[in-house]
Amino acid sequence: MSQSNLYIDIGNSAIKWRTSDSKVFLEDIENFSITALNQSSTAWLSAVAHSDIVQDITTHFETINIIKTQKIFGNLTLSYDDPSMLGADRFLAMLGAINHFPNNPLLVIDIGSAITFDVIDKNGLHHGGLIMPGIKALRGSFEKFKTSDLSVSLKGYANNTDDAWKQGTYSMMISAINHQIESFQSNFSDGVVTICGGKVKEIKKELPKSIELFDNLVLDGLESYSHSMG
């Protein structure tokens, strides 16, 4: 078996994984098979759900490191009194952002099933965060209008109810994200906005050009965490 580390991010709806020198693999939860994972002796794992898959992965490797959120790790100090209440994905996304921009205030945005916002100052002190529904939750939030269509684009006002609901929920999401970016930038003139998640490339045209886009900030954080642990 290869001795390289394998980094695995189990989200609500998909799994991503990579080694330090491999491309990123992505699979929907319902289609995932453990045989798809790269061979490795050691795995580093972030999981926000799917304990059954976590259990299968645990038995698949010689060494498995399941990341738990810590109050203080490296240059990051969390504001939560109880760090276990902050998801490992948010914790690792912050570590990944700090690794990319170690001397800047940061707004870390992760667009997934939920959308999370976390603010960190240049000293690594976490100022807190926000959680809001992602586009799937927004689209399904009102029984009369709910839809499974997750397409995203702004086309102005709609002339039918289905499109009006899709446009309205998308506009709500984009407005909330842009408001948080503007608020952060007004408080931190030298701040960097990092944004990651499955919908990033589709919505980037609606966001300020100054933001830094990442496909795999949680995996970056996992790798940074593993290096810190030696």
90 in a labelled binding site: yes
12 in a labelled binding site: yes
116 in a labelled binding site: no
161 in a labelled binding site: yes
Residue with tokens 């009006």: 164
Active site residue 89: yes
Cα–Cα nearest to 9, from 214, 229, 228, 230: 214
**Pairing state of beta strands 106-111 and 114-120?**
antiparallel
Distance from C-alpha of 60 to C-alpha of 63, rounded to nearest angstrom:
9
Q: Among residues 21, 89, 162, 215, which one is catalytic?
A: 89
177 in a labelled binding site: no
87 in a labelled binding site: yes
Sign for the CA dihedral angle at 212, 178, 69, 76 comes to positive
Distance from C-alpha of 152 to C-alpha of 156, rounded to nearest angstrom:
12
80 in a labelled binding site: yes
Which helix (DSSP H) or strand (DSSP E) does residue 115 occupy? strand 114-120
11 in a labelled binding site: yes
> Which segments are annotated as binding site?
9-16, 80, 87-90, 110, 113, 161
Q: Which residues are catalytic?
A: 89
Binding residues for K(+), by number, are 110
Residue ranges of the annotated binding site for substrate are 80, 87-90, 161
